[in-house]
Structure 1
């Protein structure tokens, strides 16, 4: 019920900005949706949405929506994230780069970032691909990055949980070793709790072994965006 009310409120705000049909709502871009959500109540609404999404099964997406600023400042942030997402896609074509609201969800599967079997040690291939992200993260320093480790369901639950935490931490440690500020990163392990595919098949298990990034605006980016929006 709460999610339904929030959704209707968001639609109402979008409509108030001039989008008067369902098709128009679907065709709004990230910046326009950010403005609408901000009008609905900004970070408070974003926090409620984020909690619901996180409980529904995607920690990275929940973190992005939960950090929504909204309003005109949200539109500025969305524009900056559009540019960063494009740079990430160009740097690492094999990754899944998804623009969501005012943030970026980046999914690195086994073909992009993998580890030694049953360990948290990054392979040479994984390091090479992470190296490609470093220049982009350096170019856009005003972001916070949540790194979430995921496993398949093989093995014990406790082992998988610990392994997912260690793998997320390994990615953070490696990126920090390349000169990125460690304070930008927060890590979390979800074990097999958020599968993308059926763990009953080998292909499904392979898809579930992944690392996800939630890239959001830090306080400096938010403040800069608010100042820029105020000038318009």
Structure 2
């Protein structure tokens, strides 16, 4: 069963560094309308510390740069509907609305066998369902993050996280998601979301995150009033 969540934690201000050429969505603490009151500078400053606390740089970046106003509300509504579809249809994933984006988290133990980057047959089916939804909401870009626990060699963990992120990206592409929308990155053991001192914590750290955010065309549609949901 999936679990649709929303991030509401207030944070202090901190500068973030842009990754590649990604342009990120707006700080929205609950639903579609909350994006209306924030400015771009404040949102960008907020993003980095949220990401560092959550273990996900891209999650922080989604919360960082801001569109705001009516355009932010329209994008938020677009993402609300997409997140709800993922939550209903994709088993084994935790779905979280973050700012004007979506964070989908898969336990690596569900997607892969131990120490493997080969996606299981059951997970292939669920990723196919995710791909169908991504194709229905095609005005978004997608970052796939691979993460491991700290057991074993650090370099091996890094390589495994990269291979797993790439495996998910390649399968989504095979199911019709444009490669231009997809970016895969591995963080190895460097972005834990729980302690590595317990098995339950290590399990949480072994994960693949799929971060979905508005592309430039969706932003343009929202800003010009063309976007209708």
TM over 0.5: yes
1:65 matched residue in structure 2: 63
Q: 1:31: Cα distance to partner?
A: 2.6
Q: 1:220: Cα distance to partner?
A: 0.6
CA distance in 2, matches of 1:29, 1:206: 28
The answer (yes or no) to whether the contact 2:119–2:167 under 8 Å persists in 1 is yes
2:85 equivalent among 84, 87, 100: 87
The answer (yes or no) to whether the contact 1:77–1:225 under 8 Å persists in 2 is yes
SS of residue in 2 equivalent to 1:166: helix
The answer (yes or no) to whether the contact 1:63–1:214 under 8 Å persists in 2 is no
Q: Does the alignment pair 1:201 with 2:202?
A: no
1:224 equivalent among 221, 224, 227: 221
Structure index of larger Rg: 1
What's the Cα RMSD here?
2.2
CA distance in 2, matches of 1:31, 1:137: 19
Q: TM-score, normalised by structure 1?
A: 0.80
1:12 matched residue in structure 2: none
Q: After superposition, where does 1:11-160 map in structure 2 within 5 Å?
A: 29-37=30-38, 41-42=39-40, 44-56=41-53, 57-110=55-108, 112=110, 114-160=111-157
Q: After superposition, where does 1:176-195 map in structure 2 within 5 Å?
A: 176-195=173-192
Structure with greater helix share of residues: 1
Query: Given the superposition, is the C-alpha separation of residues 213 and 67 from structure 1 closer, same or farther in structure 2, using an over 3 Å criterion?
Result: farther
Q: TM-score, normalised by structure 2?
A: 0.81
Q: Which 10-residue stretch deviates more, 180-189 or 58-67? A: 58-67
The answer (yes or no) to whether the contact 1:60–1:213 under 8 Å persists in 2 is no
Count of residues in correspondence between the two structures: 203
SS of residue in 2 equivalent to 1:107: strand
1:22 matched residue in structure 2: none
Query: Given the superposition, is the C-alpha separation of residues 36 and 178 from structure 1 closer, same or farther in structure 2, using an over 3 Å criterion?
Result: same
**Over residues 51-72 of structure 1, what are the superposed CA-to-partner deviations in whole Å (9 max), with x where a residue is unaligned?**
3323343223113113431121
